[in-house]
Chain A
Amino acid sequence: MRAVEQVERIAAWGAARRRSWSEYYQYVHRYLCDVVRLDPSRALSERLRTQLSGHVTRPFSLTVANAPSIKLLRDVMPAPSAKPPVKRPRAEREKQPSESAPVDVHALIAAHVAEEVKAGARGLTEVTERVLAKLPAEDRFLAAGRVAEALAKLEETERERERPWLPLSDGMTIEEWTVNGAITPAPSATEQHDER
């Protein structure tokens, strides 16, 4: 195996040397034709030397063709990486105002409280629980205090020396009051709405 490789290597080296020698032979042959035969007195070399040394004082230059390349216009294409601008369909974003009756939250809660008291509720916890059940979940925390305010205006309440705090179903805890009896009959929610 090594002998074969050695023979191939020697063959490649021999071919390269032969090619190199051939090129050198051709070059020398051309040199003999161009220089030795055509310019035996080396007049051309001397002329070149004179031109080079006098180029500063008597410069000259050759003229060569310089045709510009043909320009082909291409179709304008958007860049592939360019993302389309963010758009959304045209529409009327402004909503027209509509007329609606104002809601008096205090009066509404007072009416609910009066209804529950009339229905038999006798403690702040019980009244609050029933009233809050009629209201949306997001309004219940705010309405809990207003229920106590409405009940205090509507009924006479009684507080024990020890004030118990009772939990509501919504996770709130309130102080318990006991309602003694009706003092001022409060209008119902429907009646208050009619008055407005």
Chain B
Amino acid sequence: MSDSRFLTLGDAVEDENFPEADLVLRRGRHIDRDETALYGFLSDAADHLEPFYRRFGCELVHASEGYFCLLPTNDKLGRRHLGVPEMLVGQALALLYLDPSTLQNGGVVTKQDALSRLAGVTGSDALTRPSTRSASGWTSAWPRSRCAPSSARR
């Protein structure tokens, strides 16, 4: 805390980056190192903001991979579970990031690359399984009990 440029929580809240960082985190987005201003602000103000968000029932997570996000621990702030398509695409992109062949393109991944990798790993049948979009977001035609959140399964 000693190397932080913010002495108090008030200093952090008064910073010009606080409103945008706060809104982005509350909407469930991750802030990674490419967003230099917001990531730098959160890195400096994390010691003050962690207890601040804990009062809202959220944990301000600073992952070693280099990103910040809010992890809700109760329903005070509102939360949602990512849908099946979001989870599949996210894992496929992570797999592509780890693939050395992606280095040749400087980390640029096309839509076709992502779909090909997804189809190769999960199989075309699983990929083309129908998904429908409901008012609350993407839901799969797979059994609802299987899509229950991890906390519910526990």
A51–B91 contact, CB under 8 A?
yes
9-residue interface stretch from B4-12, B42-50, B78-86:
B78-86
The listed residue (A31, A59, A64) touching B80 by CB distance below 8 A is A64
Q: Does B31 sit at the interface, judged by CB under 8 A? A: no
Given contacts A61-B87, A63-B80, contact A27 B106 (CB under 8 A): yes
Q: Does B134 sit at the interface, judged by CB under 8 A? A: no
B71–A63 contact, CB under 8 A?
yes
Q: Does B109 sit at the interface, judged by CB under 8 A? A: no
Cα–Cα, bound, A27→B26 (Å) = 28
9-residue interface stretch from A65-73, A139-147, A161-169:
A65-73
Q: Does B20 sit at the interface, judged by CB under 8 A? A: no
Cα–Cα, bound, A42→B78 (Å) = 36
Cα–Cα, bound, A64→B80 (Å) = 6
Interface residues of B in 121-149 (CB under 8 A from A): 121-123, 126, 129, 140, 142, 146-147, 149
The listed residue (A20, A55, A58, A64) touching B126 by CB distance below 8 A is A55
Nearest-CB residue, chain B, relative to A21 = B106
Q: Does A16 sit at the interface, judged by CB under 8 A? A: no
A61–B121 contact, CB under 8 A?
no
Cα–Cα, bound, A20→B106 (Å) = 9
A65–B70 contact, CB under 8 A?
yes
Interface residues of B in 64-104 (CB under 8 A from A): 65, 69-72, 77-84, 86-88, 91-92, 94-95, 97-99, 103
Residues of A within 8 A of B142 (CB): 56, 59
Number of interface residues of B (CB under 8 A): 45
Cα–Cα, bound, A23→B106 (Å) = 8
A62–B78 contact, CB under 8 A?
no
The listed residue (A23, A45, A53, A63) touching B122 by CB distance below 8 A is A53
Q: Does B110 sit at the interface, judged by CB under 8 A? A: no
Expressed in whole angstroms, the minimum distance between the Cβ of A16 and any Cβ of chain B is: 14
B80–A52 contact, CB under 8 A?
no
Cα–Cα, bound, A191→B106 (Å) = 121
Nearest-CB residue, chain A, relative to B81 = A61
Residues of B within 8 A of A34 (CB): 65
The listed residue (B78, B140, B149) touching A65 by CB distance below 8 A is B78
B78–A49 contact, CB under 8 A?
no
Expressed in whole angstroms, the minimum distance between the Cβ of B7 and any Cβ of chain A is: 27
B107–A27 contact, CB under 8 A?
yes
B147–A61 contact, CB under 8 A?
yes
Nearest-CB residue, chain B, relative to A51 = B91
The 5 nearest A-B residue pairs measured at CB:
A64-B28, A67-B26, A65-B70, A66-B80, A61-B81
Name 26 interchain pairs, CB-CB below 8 A, sorted by A: A20-B106, A27-B107, A35-B97, A39-B98, A49-B95, A49-B121, A51-B91, A52-B91, A52-B92, A52-B118, A52-B121, A55-B88, A61-B81, A61-B150, A63-B72, A63-B79, A63-B80, A63-B81, A63-B151, A64-B29, A64-B82, A65-B71, A65-B79, A67-B27, A67-B77, A67-B78
